[in-house]
Structure 1
Amino acid sequence: MNNKGYKAFNPDFTCNGKQYEENTIYEENGSEICKAGVMHYCENPFDVLNYYPLVNESGEISEFAEVEPLGKIFREENKSATNKLHIKAKLGLKEFIKACINFTLEKTIEENENNAENDNGNNFAQIGSNGKFAQIGSSGNYAKIGSSGSHAKIGSNGDSAQIGSSGSFAQIGSSGNSAQIGSNGHFAKIGSSGDSARIGSSGNFTKIGSSGNSAQIGSRGDSARIGSSGDFAKITSEGYHSVVMAAGYSSIARAKKGSWITLAEWNEKDGHTWTPKCVKTEYVDGERIKEDTFYKLVDGEFTEY
């Protein structure tokens, strides 16, 4: 039985009106999922994004934590519930993305040990799949992975991977450096922790998280949620009603009218980045904050880049 899971919260660490704290055990008296008296969580960290956004419309990042069910467990589709839950340590954006990637890698490699869709660690692997619910795992460098079926789960931890997915509801995790990830299916969830990643998405309702440095992220779909904690990120959102957050040092972002952008500014000393100086969110109204224009936070103000 899997006794590990993940739970998302509002930015103030509440869920359904209940205040939680990390490293604390909570107990309820419920006996049915989706009813009062139980606490929900997901075994797959990607799945918590179905219930809480990566970044909300105010530019705030949802809180995440690893959890352990200690009571009776109830399951329904991708959600689980229990009447006794141990909330472990909070996960920052970087740690949450890493958890998504590790889960995807472990699942795809574990379930495809004897399947041709798993490259078993060889470099220069070329993997193609057009079926639904494909699970593809790759740990070698320079892998080329293509999937056109819906609900695909793709995990890669090799460097210089090229991953393409055109099916809806894809879950893609990559931890290698210099990865190139492309997705044009709707409702895709993409996590990348490697440096110098290039991520492109054209589907609507995409959720993209990146914690590596020097990431370049582009999204053309509407209602995208994009979060980046790495330094020197460059984020472009061409879809409407999107939310973009770039929390890393010297990061820039641009978006369409009707979207929200959150940027961070950091204090420096002796060439090193130390503490956050300012975090600010602006609404792209097309006038004061222009659409299709890169902005950087300088002295606490959005400045055209």
Structure 2
Amino acid sequence: MLKFDEVITSDKDGSIVLTDGYTSRANSIGKRSAAVTGGFESVSHSTGVFSISTALGDKSKAFADGDSAISAVSGEKSWSTTDGYYSISGNTGNISSSVSNGESSISANTGYRGEADCRGNDSVAITTGDNSVSIATGQHSVSIALGINGSARAALGSFIILGEYDENHLINIKSFLVDGDKVKPDTYYSLKDGQLYGERW
């Protein structure tokens, strides 16, 4: 059984790194590897190709730098980021951020007042939490905000998809092309009364 605050590090191919301690760290550099933490204020970092990095504790961070990697956190005020191509960054914590830098990647956030930021081309950013923000700055991408009072921003030539609510009931979903004329690339948009409303950032 792992002890609290235990640190386990591996740089071998096919390796697995685990720790369940408070303020703990897990680091995996090998290919096809996994780094997992379950403690509060913990850090999970995996730089291997086809790797998985998971941090479950509050105020935790998860990083996966390898191609085709997955980085996921579920703690509040947490951070999840991936840099590899075809990778996934996911976050379910409130007031948290999910960032994906690789092309053809996905950044998803389901927490309240969360942020999904997708910076690579041909990628998707999606938020479902209330008062959340979805950002897609890469070319040919999609920014989706389906939570109550959600907003989305995307690059020129990309699409935004927005949801509208009547109290707690989803009543409308619309998509818009960021054409640079009616829909600007430097503006956060939300959907109200079926109309598009924008606010420059």
Q: Check whether TM > 0.5.
A: yes
Change over 3 Å in CA distance of 1:133–1:116 after alignment to 2: closer
Q: Does 1:158 align with 2:57?
A: yes
Q: Does 1:199 align with 2:93?
A: no
Could you tell me whether the CA contact under 8 Å between 1:141 and 1:159 is conserved in 2? Answer: yes
Alpha-carbon displacement from aligned partner over 1:189-208 (angstroms, at most 9, x marks no partner)? 12222211212221101112
Could you tell me whether the CA contact under 8 Å between 2:27 and 2:35 is conserved in 1? Answer: no
Q: Does 1:295 align with 2:189?
A: yes
Deviation at 1:116, TM superposition (A): 7.4
Q: What residue number does 2:67 align with?
A: 168
Q: Does 1:250 align with 2:149?
A: yes
Alpha-carbon displacement from aligned partner over 1:168-208 (angstroms, at most 9, x marks no partner)? 10112222111111221111112222211212221101112
Question: TM-score, structure 2 length as denominator?
Answer: 0.86
Q: What residue number does 2:18 align with?
A: 118
Question: TM-score, structure 1 length as denominator?
Answer: 0.58
Deviation at 1:141, TM superposition (A): 0.9
Could you tell me whether the CA contact under 8 Å between 1:238 and 1:292 is conserved in 2? Answer: no
Give 3-state SS (helix, strand or coil) of 2:176's partner.
strand
More helix by share: 1
C-alpha distance in structure 2 between counterparts of 1:236 and 1:246, whole Å: 9
The one-letter code sitting in structure 1 at the alignment partner of 2:45 is G
More strand by share: 2
Consecutive unaligned residues of structure 2, counting only runs of 5 or more, are 1-14
Consecutive unaligned residues of structure 1, counting only runs of 5 or more, are 1-114, 269-273
* Alignment RMSD: 1.5
Q: What residue number does 1:92 align with?
A: none
Deviation at 1:248, TM superposition (A): 0.2
C-alpha distance in structure 2 between counterparts of 1:209 and 1:216, whole Å: 8
Could you tell me whether the CA contact under 8 Å between 2:79 and 2:91 is conserved in 1? Answer: no
The one-letter code sitting in structure 1 at the alignment partner of 2:91 is S
C-alpha distance in structure 2 between counterparts of 1:145 and 1:209, whole Å: 18
Could you tell me whether the CA contact under 8 Å between 1:195 and 1:213 is conserved in 2? Answer: yes
Alpha-carbon displacement from aligned partner over 1:77-107 (angstroms, at most 9, x marks no partner)? xxxxxxxxxxxxxxxxxxxxxxxxxxxxxxx
Deviation at 1:290, TM superposition (A): 0.9
| Aligned-residue identity in percent | 26
- Corresponding residue pairs, total: 185
